[in-house]
Amino acid sequence: MTVDRLNELLLACTLVLLVAVAAVRLTSRIGLPTLLLYLGIGMIIGQDGLGVDFQDAELTQVFGYAALVVILAEGGLSTRWRLIKPALPAAAVLATVGVGVSVGVTAAAAHYLVGLEWQTALVMGAVVSSTDAAAVFSVLRKVPLPSRLSGALEAESGFNDAPVVILVVAFSTLDALDQPAQHWLLLPGAMLLQLAIGLAIGLAVGRLGAFGLRHVALPASGLYPIAVLALTVLAYAAAAMVNGSGFLAVYVAALVLGNARLPHRPATRGFADAMAWVAQMGLFILLGLLVNPSELLDDFWPAIAIGLGLTLVARPLSVALSLLPFRRPWQEHVLMSWAGLRGAVPIVLATIPVVNGVAESDRVFNIVFLLVVVFTLLQGPTLPWVARRLHLGQDERTVDVDIESAPLERLRGHLLSVTIPRDSRMHGVEVAELRLPRAAAVTLVVRDGTSFVPDPTTVLMRGDELLVVATDPVRDEVEQRLHAVAEGGKLARWLRETGATGIRRNRRPGE
């Protein structure tokens, strides 16, 4: 590698990156999933296009794992605990029992409809049984669904990567026909152990990391996003090193950190979002480079057959059986079945059998690639329409407030930056009616680009930005009070207050 070669590489990479960024604007207008454009860019650059020859499945797998870690970290950091908490039991069943049902049904379809050998069919069933976190997160955040429904889908997509990876590795590295029956009877126990290890490490890293970041004032605000993302990667690496589920660990750690009261949370989420976009672009383009379009035509109809079995039989059956104890209405069953989006995860997992030399693994990769492209193109753009037809859409916007905290180390206090959204119930509330603790005060209001110091009778309005100074002992109480007023308006002082973390306190005397 020379400097001249480096310059050429940087020029090519930045041009591809800029094209990928511009593609986001195009896809947002026409409703096309961005992953399809990124895959297309990779295929255009590849061997059948501009002639870049890239056939390293093992390197793709390595980069794919790294990208999935970042994508899952961003998903956890941007997921609100209070929205997914009620849906966790259903999501956990979907990510375990639902995955098992989907693997079995899809494997049977691959064996009987396409003629794949049983081991290859089981690998195929496991590879395509994971919903893709990036695809689900990007689509669901544009569809106004009820919180328990969107929460279940987001949590499922974050959790189900872990058991699927375990199954794909198990089916790819072992010959199913030569293993004794007791080996496969022990597989569920081994899988639960790996998930338990990943869960424990994710919780430990998330809680210890949040504690440390709250009590150590870093010298620059830009260090907080780096520290948070590094902690999520630490959770993955630590779990993977002890044979635990690294993917579950990174998502759980990010979920804990994203819902902790940390300084500069909006900046952290923005940084993680940017890193996730870079990871998605690089991953999809790399996957597009790996595939040869000229080899796909022979596997088109097998991909359609397996995809139809997965979408119309395996996914609805897994949803129905998983949600049976929760008595969800049939409309939610239909939507959750249709919202089982596939994306980069199945294509990355399809490189595992290629690396391990499983029979017909190249064919598995081509089928998975085609399946993802065709059914993402079908399901992604139609999901909002399906939600409306099932009368599951919501027109309500969030009423919460965005709060960013910056520590004031020498003053032993915090400067809270509060943004009042358009439909927040804080609109019309006077400053005195916020009833903040005595050790806190609203020091500045920015409205329509003009700043002024408020008095107790100043009426807050939608779009206002507030600067609130609070001492360290009352910082958490101030944030909880602001969230309570955002949810309950002026009546929050008469009701039991619920903050962003779900902690409640009764009204104090005089409030």
Q: Tell me the three state secondary structure of residue 437.
A: coil
Global confidence as pTM: 0.74
| Residue spans of alpha helices (H) in 174-217 | 181-215
Range 149-159 average pLDDT: 80
DSSP 268: H
Between 247 and 176, whose confidence is greater?
247
DSSP 396: P
Measure the CA–CA gap between 233 and 330, rounded to whole angstroms: 39
pLDDT (0 to 100) of residue 281: 85
Q: Tell me the three state secondary structure of residue 451.
A: strand
303-323 pLDDT, tens digit each: 999 999 999 999 999 999 998
DSSP string of 331-349, one letter each residue:
HHHHHHHHT----HHHHHH
Query: What does the block give as tokens for 108?
Result: 């049977």
Measure the CA–CA gap between 283 and 289, rounded to whole angstroms: 10
13-24 pLDDT, tens digit each: 888 888 878 877
CA 92 to chain centre: 15
pLDDT at 189 over 60: yes
pLDDT (0 to 100) of residue 507: 38
Q: Which residue type, as a one-letter code, is found at position 32? A: L
pLDDT (0 to 100) of residue 180: 54
Between 245 and 179, whose confidence is greater?
245
Cβ-in-10-Å burial (0-12, 13-18, 19+) of 437 comes to: middle
Q: Maximum CA pair distance of the chain? A: 79
Instruction: Give, in order, the Cα–Cα distances in Å from 502 to each of 144, 153, 259.
Output: 22, 21, 11
Please, what is the average pLDDT of the chain? 81
